[in-house]
A and B are shown apart, each in its own frame.
Chain A
Amino acid sequence: MKALQAGLRAALEFLSDLLEWAFGSRSNPLAQLGALGWFFFWIVAASGLYLYVFFDTGVTQAYASVESITHAQWWAGGILRSFHRYASDALIIVVLIHLLREFAYDRFHGPRAFGWITGMVALALAYVCGISGYWMVWDQLAQYIAVITSEWLDVLPIFAGSIARNFLHSGELSGRFFTLMVYIHIAVPLAMLAVMWLHIQRHAVSRINPARPLALATLGALLVLALVFPAVSQAPANLDIAPTRLGIDWFYLLTLPGVERWGGGPMWALLGGTAVVLATFPWLIRRRRPPVAVVHLDECNGCGRCVEDCPFTAVRLGPRSDGLSYEQEAVVDPDLCVSCGICVGACPTSTPFRRATALIPGIELPDHPLADMRAAILAASPALSGAERVIVFRCTQSAALAAPDPGVAVFDVPCVGEVPPSFVDFALSRGHADGVMLAGCREEACYQRLGGRWTEARVAGTRDPRLRERVPRERLAFSWAATTQRAVRLADLARFRARLHARAAAGGPTAPETARTVWRRNVRSLLALRWGAQIAWLAAFVAVAGFFSIAPAHQSLAPGEAEIKLSLAHPGQRRIACRELTPQELAKLPINMRRPVNCPRARWPVAVELWINGRRLLAGSYAPTGVWSDGPSVVYTRLEVPAGPLELRLRLRDTGRPEGFDYDQSFAVQLAPAQSLAIDFRPDNGGFVLHGATATGARP
């Protein structure tokens, strides 16, 4: 598992390098997958609202209204329909990469299990949205989805009848059904939104909006796709004709061909099994949990800075418990704390300049005391040698760094955000080093959240506690590198030391003029290339979304084949006949229980046989449904048969007779390729009834 995660991380970081080169670190799509998910959700929601205005519920109206939206107003409804489809596909792409990334970086433990589980629920709901959406169009794809999905659902024991029976033949379908679909297609996205909201609840400062340039560029790419490759319907649905070759949206409908081939049961087992395994990851893959942050009340006055900086809302302010004159104190929720130490970096008392009393901050990680960190710096600094002595504070979750020579000392911290800015001041102003490097994770690879961002803001003086203005910023460097980017980290360090060296040589912070000119020229030439790379990436992204939304085509029914659907819901006769009670018997009963007829509810099972051209293809005994075995027996089967003339023989027994059949009918039919023959059973009409095919001769 660890190897798999490491491999995935390497792949993601390679991809991230390429994307960052093209888009820059602020707009790197891989660093804002969740935010892009929200962005696509809003696009789908907004375009869906517009489409809803023009959508008609009705067997023929549904298709016709979608056609009208698509073609008659291609400049609005048509484009928005394409947005609706392609943004949903894009949503699945970014969400799946998001899931993969959280898995690769092991970010599903402890308090993060909540996000892991809610994310999976949201993803499942997204699939319900997608499937119900394609269903509403009522083209051949919708018909395929209707038949396969309802067969799939029928496998579950929770439905008494057969949902697939609703799609038996064109006469059976009701417009009500589309009203139901509209309801599902609005209710489920709302539920999904609620779960998405829950998904980000345990996070302070969730990023739900992508960087604006990236958002606009993505929107533009979707518009181009909508114009070049508009989303259109396939041929209208006709339940009397089975779909043969279909364009399938593989992002949403991947499972349906599986159901078609292997049956609903195995697909439920596969999906359910995968979901259960994924959902139990936080508990299956254990990780040692370091002790959580503790509050030292003697040093806490309830200023709340740790509360503001905690990325997991694990610290809150509670009423004072120790009798001191303060109103509040920091309280850590051990279930939510990930022991990142960002709260320690935020605490105003964590200053190393304090010497007379012990260096105990108001909040601290028990296995990483600040006093030890200061002691380590004091112990290491005399040993540092050379003109560019550098102290590196390195996040243990980021790229490893071994001191390359005696001029560098590396201190491991759980997150760069744990380093109080005053420690940087201390190291530089007390002459313990010539430079300080804060080495953390690249944003999307950040194991703890927000540590890098808060650190940059503290140094920039836009977030408390601020790095004092007197600290020369040119003596400070950041290095953001994920675990696989050791070379980047070494290069960052070398560049920083070269900068320190140049500064020392020049006696001031001036950089050589020539280098700057060269750099500017390089940037200019790169900028042109980057635009090209951005366009190429966006084009590739929408091309993938567009292509797999319709291709490769799926062959449902083989050429030259036809289909027979046998479906019936017929109650067998009662095992014990009803009996009228005599007046004497009735008189014995309490006054509120005098039922004139006593009917034991249990029914006989219904036996059904289907013969085609003299071969028995189906023979079964179907138990009555219902808790009291008093419901109808339900039969549904769909068979592929060669087109051409067929001799059908149908037999049914619904009584308790030991052998023989109560109904035995034969039909000669002629099936065209792709024709879908529906066989129902209506005792009022004399028994078996054929739909969608003219029987060339029926013999009773």
Chain B
Amino acid sequence: MTAKLLEWRDAYALGLPEIDHEHQQMIAEINRLHESLDHNATADDVVDCLGEILAHISAHFALEEKNMRAAAYDGLAEHKADHERLLDELHTIASDVADRGRYDSAVLAARLDAWFMKHFGSLDARLHRALRVRR
């Protein structure tokens, strides 16, 4: 299977260049991770990929929080709590792989999908609508 998990589509574009840029970056990283899972990568490789995602998503969340504060977004507290929870979860996922030294690719893929969709599916969409209206 070589199809990418996620494909960037112009429809995803929010019209906020910095957010779009980071979303593209993130999609590329998540695809890379999925690809490596498909190719039965070592646990080390997976941890590497997760580390990159962690670094970039931390920065992405930080930027999003700045934008929310600047726009006095009313869902800030809820959204921020979600960011923190997501970071906690991603750390846990990465640690599990690193600690065991192996992983079950199906389970990991499911966890990551759940992790990714939970946030981007609901809260992010609402935020970006709000921010776009403001500009």
Known: A326-B18, A468-B87. A354 touches B55 (CB 8 A): yes
Q: Is the CB of A469 within 8 A of B58?
A: no
Return chain A residues, CB-CB under 8 Å to B95: 429
Stretch in contact with the other chain, from A297-305, A605-613, A660-668: A297-305
Which residue of chain A is the closest to B57 with respect to CB atoms?
A: A348
CA distance A465 to B20 in the complex (A): 23
Contact assessment for A470 and B91 in the assembled complex, using a CB-CB cutoff below 8 Å:
yes
A interface secondary structure, majority: loop
Assuming the contacts A353-B51, A355-B47, asked whether A327 and B66 have C-beta atoms less than 8 A apart, the reply is no
What does the 1/0 interface line of A423-440 toward B look like (CB < 8 Å)?
001000110000000000
Q: Does A349 contact B (CB under 8 A)?
A: yes
Q: If A430-B98, A469-B88 touch, does A354 touch B51 (CB 8 Å cutoff)?
A: yes
Give chain B interface residues in 23-63, CB to chain A under 8 Å: 47-52, 54-56, 58-63
**Complex contact A348–B48 (CB within 8 A):** no
CB of A326, distance to nearest CB on chain B (Å) = 5
Does A575 have its Cβ within 8 Å of any Cβ on chain B?
Answer: no
Report B-chain residues with C-beta under 8 Å of the C-beta of A469: 84, 88
How far does the Cβ of A104 sit from chain B's closest Cβ, in whole Å? 38
Asked if B82 is at the interface of the complex by the 8 Å CB criterion, the answer is no
A621 CB to nearest B CB, Å: 75
Confirm or deny: A356 has a beta carbon within 8 angstroms of a beta carbon on chain B.
Answer: yes
The answer to whether B88 and A303 have CB atoms under 8 Å apart is: no
Number of A-B contacts (CB under 8 A): 78
Q: Does B121 contact A (CB under 8 A)?
A: no
Measured between alpha carbons, how far is A153 from B28 in the docked complex, in Å?
A: 76
**Bound CA span A303–B59, Å:** 7
Chain A min CB distance to B13 (Å)? 11
Given A301-B60, A325-B18, A349-B59, answer yes or no on A466-B47 (Cβ-Cβ < 8 Å): no
Distance in angstroms between the alpha carbons of A324 and B63 in the assembled complex: 14
Evaluate contact between A348 and B61: CB separation under 8 angstroms: yes
The reply to whether A305 and B52 contact each other, CB–CB distance below 8 Å, is no
List, in ascending order, chain B residues with CB within 8 A of A522's CB. Answer: none
A657 to B133, CA, bound (A): 94
* B59 & A470 in contact (Cβ 8 Å cutoff): no
Q: Does A464 contact B (CB under 8 A)?
A: yes
Residues of chain A with a CB closer than 8 A to B60's CB: 301
A356 to B36: give the CA distance in the assembly, Å. 13
Bound Cα distance A276, B50 (Å):
59
Q: Does B130 contact A (CB under 8 A)?
A: no
With A468-B87, A470-B88 in contact, do A303 and B51 touch (Cβ < 8 Å)?
Answer: no
Interchain CA distance A362-B60 in the complex, whole Å: 12
Whether B52 pairs with A425 at a CB distance below 8 angstroms is no
Q: Per-residue CB proximity of B76-104 to A under 8 Å, as 1/0?
A: 00000000100110011011001000000
State whether A356 and B48 are in contact (beta carbons under 8 Å apart), knowing that A327-B18, A349-B55, A470-B92 are contacts in the complex.
yes
User: Does A351 have its Cβ within 8 Å of any Cβ on chain B?
Assistant: yes
* Distance of A158 Cα from B22 Cα, bound (Å): 66
B4 CB → nearest A CB, Å: 19
From residue 466 to 482 of chain A, which have CB atoms closer than 8 A to chain B?
A: 466, 468-470
Q: Which residues of B contact A465 (CB under 8 A)?
A: 58, 62
A520 vs B122: C-alpha distance in the bound complex, in angstroms? 49
Contacts of B9 in A (CB 8 A): none
Which residue on B lies nearest to A356, using beta carbons? B48
Query: Shortest Cβ distance from B75 into chain A, in angstroms?
Result: 18
Q: CA separation between A468 and B51, bound complex, in Å?
A: 15
Partner of A466, one of B50, B52, B84: B84
**A-B CB contact pairs (8 Å), 18 listed:** A301-B60, A302-B18, A303-B59, A303-B62, A303-B63, A304-B66, A305-B62, A324-B21, A348-B55, A353-B51, A353-B94, A354-B54, A356-B51, A425-B91, A430-B98, A466-B84, A468-B91, A469-B84
Which residues of A come within 8 Å of B, CB atoms?
A: 299, 301-305, 324-327, 348-349, 351, 353-357, 362, 425, 429-430, 464-466, 468-470
Query: Which positions in B face A, CB cutoff 8 Å?
Result: 17-18, 20-22, 47-52, 54-56, 58-63, 65-66, 84, 87-88, 91-92, 94-95, 98
